Amino acid sequence: MKAIKCIVFGCLMMLFSCKEQPLEAQKTVVVSQASIEKIAPADLKTKIDLDTVQLIDVRTPKEYSKGHIANAQNINFYDADFLTQLSKLDKNKPVYLYCKSGGRSAKASKQLQNAGFSLIYDLKGGFVGWKSAGLPIKN
């Protein structure tokens, strides 16, 4: 008898839970359209005009001063106003990020994605990968 009650109760629950909710009770889920792509150092060098893109070095100023990719803007990931500085970038243009080896730039990419940026590229291997590929650096 207990088993029959459970079956009947389960069927009633399924029946009422499948009933369509009124339009105002339905929730809308917004999915970010932003993409984060990894880009190889050679592709960044040859396929992108480094003079005109939003190229961001998220390392510390001390790291940046020891060498960086030409025309990279230094926005320190550890600064208290990091997100404020990122918000000054154009959300509709691609943003290229790098750090020393990829950890900070991956976290920064997620923050840009959450802030509504549309195209985000993260340099594979970071600055270490850039130098290992024999690409030019600026001191």
Q: Using a CB cutoff of 8 Å and minimum separation of 24, what contacts does 70-75 make?
A: 70/136, 70/137, 70/138, 72/98
Tell me the C-alpha distance between 85 and 74, whole Å. Answer: 10
pLDDT in tens, 15-46: 444 444 444 444 434 444 568 999 999 999 88
Which residues are CB-contacts of 57 (< 8 A; sequence separation ≥ 6)? 64, 68, 69, 72, 73, 74, 75, 98, 99, 127
Of 132, 124, 105, the residue nearest 40 (C-alpha): 124
pLDDT in tens, 54-64: 999 999 999 99
**Catalytic member of 6, 11, 18, 99:** 99
Q: Residues of the chain with pLDDT > 90: what percent? A: 65
pLDDT greater than 60 at residue 91: yes
Tell me the C-alpha distance between 132 and 129, whole Å. Answer: 5
DSSP 2-51: HHHHHHHHHHHHHHHHTSPPPGGGPPP------EEEEE-HHHHHHHS-TT
Stated pTM of the model: 0.74
Half-sphere exposure (Cβ direction) of 33: Cα atoms closer than 13 Å: 3
The helix/strand/coil state of 112 is helix
Identify whether 99 is a catalytic site residue: yes
